[in-house]
């Protein structure tokens, strides 16, 4: 084995500089030892550095450092050795980022790198520098989190209802506009009827309507009040010849604001109509959109909201999903008229920082289209959400795949797989009830989920090896697993062919569970008897599909399957109508027993291009569908044709006759609907007003596990000197309780509390005056809490203008060489850290040995300097 002393010898320093650090050629002695990065030192070749890095027992060894100034401070020796250690790590990073490096070598490089990085962190923490302060991460007086919890606020704001003057008539207020506001408070329960017909001939402007509503509330003895909210028009500019030119300012917007009371609970009720929600992705790269259509009688006709474009008849609203969403694949409506979307997110969404590269988030929108909840899974590495279901009592199940750590997820016995299935169940208020991670030895993922009538949860997916309780068949296998309402594992059934199989949809009714998916090249339906521990109860091969199953539901003993196919006689069923050619959207209706009979129905929708049905709901003998047809349309500039028109339609379930159809428009006219959810009674006149059905929740959860991506058991470390204390997140942790833990773990050296920003409470950690510096460090891999809080590793240090200067190396503890991109990031971080070490080295002003210039300068040197100064004065004219 090669010790790091060998490395120090590789940096040749046999020369003798002519002058000292700042000499004028006067023969002054060196004040600082020559550093290893000096341009006159001969650096070893990369191959030698790499060989030493892979062989060394010790990355940082101050005892082996050879300094060329006698009596130099130990700070120089320690910085010299630290720089050499960073050089070795950089050699590893350079090799890992190179092309053609085998996975075996990457593993070796990464293991060695992790060891060296940990050693450097320990060395910095334990070394007592005299002339500088050194931090492995950044150095701060105050650390502020970017993540936090939403503050309780007794307010509700609608989207803009009008653009123009506050005294102009508002389209949303015209016609029959009436609703009931039910208020519960100290004075008991009261119902206040708001009917704008009571305004008589008065102009229904936003200011007049607010005054009228408040009169009714005051008369009823209610404290809650409505107000107008002005949205100032933003400045507008255009670029002309490379110069910005200001345009006339647009019109101001006006919205309603509810100023509630903490002593009152508000519930909105109005005449209801059915609604259909559609999730769509425009093809222009814009954010995904949530659309709501009013599809039944019982409420005034839907109108375009102020400022909305590409409106189509019956559309109540179109709202953009947050821009950090990378993919959205499933949606479902709740019993309160709300709608849920499961999405893959990166970065920070609504104040929640994602811990890993990509996470799964559950988004809840109220019936007015306002985002009211975001619940992140909290995966340490990456996760994807594929399926979503809502129970009759409002519980929500999310299923997908996860890679890396998932704290407290209740993993199955055995080793964690590379890609594992997970299912998480939330209560109606968004609190996590349980999460289960089911790991096969090889990859697996959950792709479908459904609730049983008793609250049981059924998950379907695919796996490359045996799931717990199952047996492999070959290639990718389909599987279905059962969980009780409390998360206890039930039966597992694994099935398939020698090829690749998967579950694409799942449906439950009574004791009948059916999964649909790919079985080799065919589409296959499989039934299971829940009364008999999930015993298989019927299989129906639909034949080659040339597409896939997108949605499935059971209704009154009938199974309805929808998707896309190239097979004109799918399932051997004679279609009602003809296959249009290419790939068509389809709906297949069969008996829940999966037996073929005369009641089977097959309907196609599409033309000669590529068409698909992507969402399905069945209500009262009617089929609601959404999807895409391959219709060629002219692009905006009239040159390049664009294709793809989204649609929403209703068919008669018995005949397939089309009874209703709307084209789904976008900003570019090109749409790709992703799913559909039916909401019985989900629409009302309140949609026009931007107000929600049901109770307004003023008090969002303050638990960190609800409001952030943190999970119970996540940790970070407080290090003070040689003392290390872990801070662990509990299930009921709040920002206030976490702040107390931080103060205790730092032995009172830190002050922790909260601050308010952008409607959220966030964490603030400060150094106490006159106390020693304290480090906040990441927790164990897979359980780190800092990133979910929006905090970075840091040295928290009180500002001392007379003390040593502090240098932060910004070396995150999670740096790795596992991938080429990670290796490049690590290399860049190491270069920055080496720059900081060089700056720290130069900043030192410590006495060295006998050769140092100390005390009063000799008379000859003083006279010589005076002569130089006089000559300089004559040359510059005294300036």
Alpha-carbon gap, residue 348 to 325, rounded angstroms:
10
496: in domain = no
Q: Is residue 368 exposed (0-12), middle (13-18) or buried (19+ Cβ within 10 Å)?
A: buried
Contact 58, 29 (CB under 8 A): no
Contacts of 846 by beta carbon, 8 Å cutoff, 6+ apart: 73, 75, 76, 130, 131
Note the pLDDT tens digit of each residue in 1-13: 334 444 444 444 3
Q: What CA–CA distances, in Å, run from 840 to 15, 40, 445? A: 24, 20, 50
Judge if 13 and 97 occupy the same domain: yes
As given in the structure block, the two tokens for residue 314 are 């019956």
Beginning with the edge strand found earlier in the chain, give each strand of the sheet holding 444-451 in spatial order. 444-451, 457-463, 477-483, 489-495
**pLDDT reported for residue 41:** 64
pLDDT beyond 80 at 100: yes
Of the two residues 8 and 197, the one the predictor is more confident about is 197
Judge if 146 and 171 occupy the same domain: no
Alpha-carbon gap, residue 514 to 35, rounded angstroms:
72
Q: Averaged over 21-42, what is the pLDDT?
A: 58
Alpha-carbon gap, residue 294 to 301, rounded angstroms:
8
As given in the structure block, the two tokens for residue 221 are 């003895």
Total domain count, the chain: 4
Judge if 128 and 146 occupy the same domain: no
761: in domain = yes
Q: What is the dihedral of CA 727, 731, 734, 736, to 10 degrees?
A: -50
Q: Is 573 helix (H, G, I), strand (E, B) or coil?
A: coil
Judge if 145 and 164 occupy the same domain: no
As given in the structure block, the two tokens for residue 438 are 């089911």
Q: What is the DSSP letter of 576?
A: B
Contact 300, 288 (CB under 8 A): no
Q: Averaged over 709-726, what is the pLDDT?
A: 88
pLDDT beyond 50 at 589: yes
As given in the structure block, the two tokens for residue 258 are 């509810």
Q: ∠ CA 53-55-59 to the nearest 5 degrees?
A: 50
Axis-axis angle for helices 74-96, 820-843 (nearest 10): 160
Range of the domain at 767: 140-150+702-796
**DSSP one-letter string for 668-698:** SS-EEEEEEEEEEEEEETHHHHT--SEE---
Alpha-carbon gap, residue 863 to 855, rounded angstroms:
16
pLDDT beyond 70 at 563: yes
Contact 274, 296 (CB under 8 A): yes
Of the two residues 711 and 514, the one the predictor is more confident about is 514
Judge if 656 and 747 occupy the same domain: no
Contact 581, 610 (CB under 8 A): no
Where does a domain end: 239, 266, 293? 266
Alpha-carbon gap, residue 302 to 293, rounded angstroms:
8
Q: What CA–CA distances, in Å, run from 314 to 277, 338, 680? A: 12, 18, 16
As given in the structure block, the two tokens for residue 181 are 């506001």
711: in domain = yes
**pLDDT reported for residue 803:** 78
69: in domain = yes
Q: Is 137 helix (H, G, I), strand (E, B) or coil?
A: coil
pLDDT tier, 854 (very low <50, low <70, confident <90, very high otherwise): very low
Alpha-carbon gap, residue 189 to 182, rounded angstroms:
7
Alpha-carbon gap, residue 736 to 754, rounded angstroms:
7
CA atoms in the 13 A half-sphere facing the CB of 564: 21
Closest CA to 487 of 534, 422, 531, 416: 422
Judge if 163 and 146 occupy the same domain: no
Q: Mean pLDDT check: name the lowest of 103-107, 322-326, 499-503, 854-858.
A: 854-858
- CB-CB neighbours of 309 under 10 Å: 9
Judge if 35 and 123 occupy the same domain: yes
Alpha-carbon gap, residue 475 to 520, rounded angstroms:
10
Contacts of 107 by beta carbon, 8 Å cutoff, 6+ apart: none
Of the two residues 34 and 753, the one the predictor is more confident about is 753
Q: Averaged over 185-197, what is the pLDDT?
A: 93
pLDDT beyond 60 at 850: no
- CB-CB neighbours of 16 under 10 Å: 8
Q: Which helix (H) or strand (E) holds 618?
A: strand 612-619
Token pair 């008379």 in the structure block, residue: 859
pLDDT tier, 527 (very low <50, low <70, confident <90, very high otherwise): very high
Where does a domain end: 240, 266, 292? 266
As given in the structure block, the two tokens for residue 767 are 């150094």
Q: Which helix (H) or strand (E) holds 88?
A: helix 74-96
Judge if 130 and 9 occupy the same domain: yes
**pLDDT reported for residue 15:** 34
**DSSP one-letter string for 760-822:** EEEEEEEEPTTPPPEEEEE-STT-B-HHHHT---EEE----TTSPEEEE----TT---SSHHH
**pLDDT reported for residue 875:** 43
Note the pLDDT tens digit of each residue in 213-223: 999 999 999 99
For the ranges 206-210, 245-249, 800-804, the one whose mean pLDDT is highest: 206-210
725: in domain = yes
Alpha-carbon gap, residue 537 to 528, rounded angstroms:
5
Q: Which helix (H) or strand (E) holds 866?
A: helix 859-875
781: left (phi over 0), alpha (psi -120 to 50) or beta: beta
Q: Averaged over 436-459, what is the pLDDT?
A: 93
Judge if 145 and 176 occupy the same domain: no
Contact 203, 171 (CB under 8 A): no
Q: Please tell me the pTM assigned to this model.
A: 0.84
Closest CA to 361 of 708, 782, 877, 18: 708
Closest CA to 513 of 559, 551, 474: 559
Of the two residues 173 and 351, the one the predictor is more confident about is 173
Judge if 24 and 117 occupy the same domain: yes
Judge if 181 and 144 occupy the same domain: no
Of the two residues 833 and 865, the one the predictor is more confident about is 833
697: in domain = no
341: in domain = no
pLDDT beyond 50 at 84: yes
Q: Is residue 336 exposed (0-12), middle (13-18) or buried (19+ Cβ within 10 Å)?
A: middle
Checking DSSP bridges between strand 601-605 and strand 584-591, what pairing results, if any?
A: antiparallel
Q: Is 837 helix (H, G, I), strand (E, B) or coil?
A: helix
**pLDDT reported for residue 859:** 45
**DSSP one-letter string for 162-217:** EES-TTSB-GGGSSS-EEEEEEEETTEEEEEEEEGGGGTTS--BHHHHHHHHHHHH
Give me the chain's average pLDDT, please.
Answer: 86
243: in domain = yes
Contact 656, 577 (CB under 8 A): yes
Give the chain's length. 879
713: left (phi over 0), alpha (psi -120 to 50) or beta: left
Judge if 120 and 184 occupy the same domain: no
Q: What is the DSSP letter of 66?
A: -
């Amino acid at each position: 084995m090669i010790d790091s002393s060998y490395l120090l010898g590789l940096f040749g320093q046999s020369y003798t500089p002519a002058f000292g650090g700042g000499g004028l050629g006067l023969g002054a002695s060196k004040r600082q030892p020559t550093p290893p990065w000096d341009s006159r030192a001969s650096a070893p070749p990369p191959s030698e550095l790499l060989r030493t890095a892979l062989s060394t027992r010790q990355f940082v060894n101050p005892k082996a450092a050879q300094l060329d100034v006698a009596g130099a401070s130990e700070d120089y020796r320690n910085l010299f050795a630290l720089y050499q250690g960073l050089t070795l790590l950089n050699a590893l990073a350079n090799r890992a980022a190179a092309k053609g490096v085998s996975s075996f070598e990457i593993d070796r490089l990464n293991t060695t790198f992790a060891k060296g990085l940990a050693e450097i962190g320990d060395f910095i923490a334990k070394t007592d520098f005299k002339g500088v302060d050194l931090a492995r991460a950044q150095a701060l007086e105050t650390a502020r989190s970017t993540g936090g919890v939403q503050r309780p606020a007794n307010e509700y704001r609608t989207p803009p209802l009008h653009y123009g003057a506050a005294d102009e008539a508002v389209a949303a207020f015209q016609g029959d506009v009436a609703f009931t506001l039910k208020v519960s408070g100290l004075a008991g329960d009261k119902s206040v009827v708001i009917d704008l017909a009571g305004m008589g001939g008065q102009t229904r402007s936003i200011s007049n309507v607010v005054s009228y509503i408040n009169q009714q509330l005051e008369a009823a003895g209610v404290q809650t009040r409505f107000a107008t909210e002005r949205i100032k028009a933003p400045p507008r500019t255009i670029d002309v010849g490379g110069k910005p030119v200001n345009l006339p300012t647009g019109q101001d917007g006006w919205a309603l604001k509810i100023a509630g009371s903490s002593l009152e609970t508000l519930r909105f009720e109005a005449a209801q109509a059915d609604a259909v929600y559609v999730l769509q992705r425009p093809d222009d790269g814009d954010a995904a959109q949530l659309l709501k259509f009013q599809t039944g009688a019982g409420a005034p006709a839907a109108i375009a909201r102020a400022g909305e474009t590409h409106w189509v008849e019956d559309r109540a609203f179109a709202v953009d999903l947050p821009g950090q969403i990378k993919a959205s694949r499933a949606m479902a409506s709740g019993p309160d008229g709300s709608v849920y979307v499961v999405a893959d997110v990166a970065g920070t969404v609504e104040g929640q920082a994602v811990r890993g590269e990509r996470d799964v988030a559950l988004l809840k929108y109220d019936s007015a289209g306002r985002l009211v909840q975001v619940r992140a899974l909290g995966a340490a590495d990456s996760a994807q959400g594929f399926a979503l279901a809502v129970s009759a009592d409002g519980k929500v199940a999310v299923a997908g795949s996860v890679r890396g750590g998932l704290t407290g997820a209740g993993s199955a016995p055995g080793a964690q797989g590379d890609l594992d299935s997970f299912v998480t169940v939330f209560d109606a208020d968004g609190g996590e009830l349980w999460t289960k991670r089911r790991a096969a030895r090889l990859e697996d993922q959950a792709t479908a989920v459904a609730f049983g009538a008793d609250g049981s949860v059924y998950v379907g997916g695919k796996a490359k090896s045996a799931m717990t309780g199952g047996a492999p068949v070959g290639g990718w296998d389909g599987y279905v697993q059962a969980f009780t309402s409390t998360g206890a594992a039930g039966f597992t059934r694994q099935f398939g062919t020698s090829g690749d199989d998967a579950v694409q949809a799942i449906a439950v009714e009574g004791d009948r569970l059916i999964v649909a998916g790919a079985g080799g090249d065919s589409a296959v339906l499989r039934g299971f008897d829940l009364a008999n521990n999930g015993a298989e109860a019927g299989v129906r091969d639909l034949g080659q599909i040339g597409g896939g199953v997108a949605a499935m539901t059971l209704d009154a003993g009938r199974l309805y399957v929808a998707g896309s196919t190239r097979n004109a006689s799918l399932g051997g069923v004679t279609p009602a109508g003809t296959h249009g050619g290419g790939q068509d959207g389809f709906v297949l209706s069969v008996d829940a027993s999966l037996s073929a009979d005369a009641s089977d129905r097959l309907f196609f929708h599409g033309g000669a291009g590529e068409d698909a049905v992507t969402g399905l709901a069945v209500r009262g003998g009617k089929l609601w569908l959404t999807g895409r047809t391959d219709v060629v349309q002219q692009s905006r500039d009239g040159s390049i044709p664009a294709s793809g028109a989204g649609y929403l339609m209703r068919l008669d379930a018995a005949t397939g006759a089309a009874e209703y159809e709307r084209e789904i428009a976008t900003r570019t006219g090109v749409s790709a609907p992703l799913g559909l959810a039916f909401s019985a009674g989900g629409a009302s006149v309140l949609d026009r007003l931007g107000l929600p059905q049901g109770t307004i929740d003023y008090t969002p959860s303050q638990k960190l596990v609800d409001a952030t991506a943190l999970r119970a058991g996540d940790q970070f470390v407080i290090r003070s000197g040689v003392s290390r204390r872990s801070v662990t997140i509990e299930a009921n942790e709040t920002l206030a309780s976490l702040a107390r833990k931080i103060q205790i773990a730092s032995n009172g050296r830190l002050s922790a509390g909260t601050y308010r920003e952008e409607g959220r409470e966030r964490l603030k950690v400060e150094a106490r005056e006159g106390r020693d510096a304290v480090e906040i460090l990441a927790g164990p891999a897979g359980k780190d809490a800092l990133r979910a809080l929006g905090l970075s590793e840091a040295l928290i240090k009180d500002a001392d203008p007379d003390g040593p200067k502090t240098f932060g190396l910004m070396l995150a503890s999670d740096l790795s060489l596992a991938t080429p991109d990670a290796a490049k990031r690590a290399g860049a971080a190491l270069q920055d850290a080496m720059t900081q070490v060089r700056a720290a080295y130069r900043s030192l002003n410590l006495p060295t040995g006998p050769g140092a210039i100390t005390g009063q300068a000799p008379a000859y040197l003083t006279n010589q300097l005076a002569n130089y100064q006089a000559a300089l004065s004559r040359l510059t004219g005294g300036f």
